């Protein structure tokens, strides 16, 4: 169960707002941070951020703050609130108690003597400037209208359990609310679970062997390369990794795929290609060569059952000639209930080949939006 931490900045707190601009909005060059850290923590941060600037925040080292800080784990959610507005949404990547780094990052603007620094330091992955009313968060957790925020807070276990019984992932939910989208409760999706499992059993019994593995591997390799050119980390199933290593001498797959991601590993580890950035999935691709075109849709349905509010794009990758077959499958009641007509996109082999050719001599510059633009809606 992911914990949720809140950091409250009172309106008009000039010192905190200056620090927010310096190390949240502007971020901090990694070499400025790494010189104060031990090798183990540096290696961990480099695995997450590489050499990109890092979002950093800190709290006073009081006994109350230390108790909360000690419970903080990688992958936990953190919100920074100014007044009545959620300014930032992110994931905890790592933490350290470090007075030297605190002095490097946050000067005592008021020049008050004998004032302790912000030594409880946490590094934030996937930060989003969200500017969402705090009332949206309060409503999700059934807090009263007079609930008052103070300093550094942790949501109680009772509130967390209540939330996760109803919803899946706070990070995705707040993004959806910011975009004006509706939020799905787990119970709405779980009503179809028995039907989904029955359908999956029938489909698995009818499974058509994939005899075009070389074409599958070729598409997988192209998506791996395109993912790297987008700046993402790339995951493919462990059963496929050796094939790619043998054929293309490539082994730079994501090593800690599920770190900080709320989706259980078994629901993502067999998706053909996943692009990932820090503690977030950017895109998921299922490559289909079989006549039935259902296995990829079933994997995506698993994802949507356990994470109904996830908002990264899902792509079925197949030859253009299979488009009509995919439309037939999408119309099945099982997938219709999950609204796959709007949630899953068709990405033809031909489009992948075009993108691959365009970026053949480039090592960067690609992004997920371009892939979405080349895909087709199934509606």
- Assess contact for 307 and 172: CB atoms under 8 A: yes
Kindly report the CA angle at 261 between 163 and 38, in degrees rounded to 5?
120
Tokens of 154: 């942790």
CA 340, 241, 212, 275 torsion: positive or negative? positive
Examine the domain organization and report whether 234 and 311 are in the same domain: yes
Where among 183, 205, 232 does a domain terminate? 183
Q: Do 137 and 265 belong together in one domain?
A: no
Planar angle of CA 74, 306, 70, nearest 5 degrees: 20
How many other CB atoms are there within 10 angstroms of residue 35's CB atom?
11
Percentage of the chain exceeding pLDDT 70: 87
Which strand (E) or helix (H) includes residue 287? Answer: strand 280-287
Split into its structural domains, the chain has a count of 2
In a shared domain, residues 26 and 158: yes
Reported residue count of the chain is: 379
Selected residue with higher pLDDT from 122 and 378? 122
Residue matched to tokens 């919803």: 167
List pLDDT tens digits, range 247-293. 999 988 877 665 556 666 666 778 899 998 888 889 999 998 765 67
The SS3 assignment for 105 reads: helix
Residue 137 is encoded by which pair of tokens? 């968060």
Give the confidence band of 133 by pLDDT, cuts at 50, 70, 90: very high
CA distance 341 to 175: 21
The better pLDDT of the pair 268, 361 is held by 361
Its domain, for residue 118, covers 4-183
pLDDT band at 188 (very low <50, low <70, confident <90, very high): low
219 in the same domain as 314: yes
Q: Which of 183, 203, 229 is the last residue of a domain?
A: 183
Q: Looking at the DSSP assignment, which residues form a beta bridge with residue 57?
A: 122
Looking at the structure, tell me whether residues 173 and 220 fall in a common domain: no
Residue 310: exposed, middle, or buried by beta-carbon count in 10 A (0-12, 13-18, 19+)? buried
Query: Exposure of 256 by Cβ count < 10 A (0-12 exposed, 13-18 middle, 19+ buried)?
Result: middle
pTM of the model: 0.81
Do both 177 and 223 map to the same domain?
A: no
- Does one domain contain both 147 and 167? yes
Residue 149 sits in the same domain as residue 199: no
- How far apart CA 105 and CA 116 sit, in angstroms, is 14
- pLDDT (0 to 100) of residue 209: 46
Specify whether the CB–CB gap between 59 and 93 falls below 8 A.
Answer: no
Residues 197 and 70 in one domain: no
42 and 65 within one domain: yes
Residue 338, pLDDT above cutoff 80: yes
Quote the radius of gyration of the chain (alpha carbons, Å): 23
Task: Kindly state the average pLDDT of the residues 68-91.
Answer: 95
Q: Are residues 196 and 345 in the same domain?
A: yes
Angle at which helices 213-229 and 349-358 pack, to 10 degrees?
40
Look at residues 183, 213, 243 and tell me which one is the last residue of a structural domain: 183
CB 376 within 8 A of CB 346: yes
If asked whether residues 154 and 197 sit together in one domain, one would say no
CATH code of 151's domain: 3.10.590
């Amino acid at each position: 169960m992911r914990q949720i931490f809140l950091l409250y900045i009172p309106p008009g707190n000039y010192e905190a707002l200056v620090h927010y601009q310096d190390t949240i909005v502007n971020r901090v060059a990694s070499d400025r941070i790494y010189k104060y850290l031990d090798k183990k923590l540096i290696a961990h941060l480099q695995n997450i951020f590489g050499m990109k600037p890092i979002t950093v925040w800190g709290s006073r080292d009081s006994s109350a703050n230390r108790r909360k800080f000690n419970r903080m784990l990688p992958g936990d959610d953190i919100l920074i609130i100014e007044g009545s507005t959620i300014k930032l949404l992110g994931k905890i990547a790592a933490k350290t108690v470090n007075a030297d780094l605190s002095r490097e990052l946050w000067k005592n603007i008021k020049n008050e003597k004998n004032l302790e620094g912000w030594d409880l330091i946490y590094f934030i992955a996937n930060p989003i400037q969200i500017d969402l009313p705090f009332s949206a968060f309060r409503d999700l957790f059934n807090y009263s209208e007079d609930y008052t925020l103070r300093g550094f807070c942790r949501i109680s276990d009772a509130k967390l359990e209540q939330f996760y019984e109803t919803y899946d992932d706070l990070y995705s939910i707040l993004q959806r609310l910011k975009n004006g989208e509706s939020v799905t409760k787990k119970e709405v999706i779980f009503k179809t679970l028995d039907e989904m499992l029955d359908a999956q059993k029938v489909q698995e019994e009818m499974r058509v062997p994939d005899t075009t593995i070389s074409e599958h591997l070729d598409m997988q390799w192209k998506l791996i390369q395109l993912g790297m050119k987008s700046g993402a980390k790339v995951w493919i199933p462990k059963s496929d990794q050796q094939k790619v290593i043998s054929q293309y001498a490539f082994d730079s797959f994501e090593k800690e795929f599920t770190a900080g991601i709320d989706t259980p590993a078994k629901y993502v580890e067999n998706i053909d290609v996943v692009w990932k950035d820090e503690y977030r999935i950017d895109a998921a691709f299922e490559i289909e060569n079989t006549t039935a075109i259902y296995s990829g849709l079933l994997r995506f349905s698993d994802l949507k059952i356990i994470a109904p509010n996830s908002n990264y794009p899902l792509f079925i990758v197949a030859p253009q000639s299979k488009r009509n077959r995919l439309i037939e499958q999408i119309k099945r009641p099982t997938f219709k209930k999950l609204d796959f007509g709007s949630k899953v996109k068709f990405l033809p082999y031909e489009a992948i080949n075009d993108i691959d050719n365009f970026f053949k001599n480039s090592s960067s510059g690609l992004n997920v939006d371009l892939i979405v633009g080349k895909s087709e809606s199934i509606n």
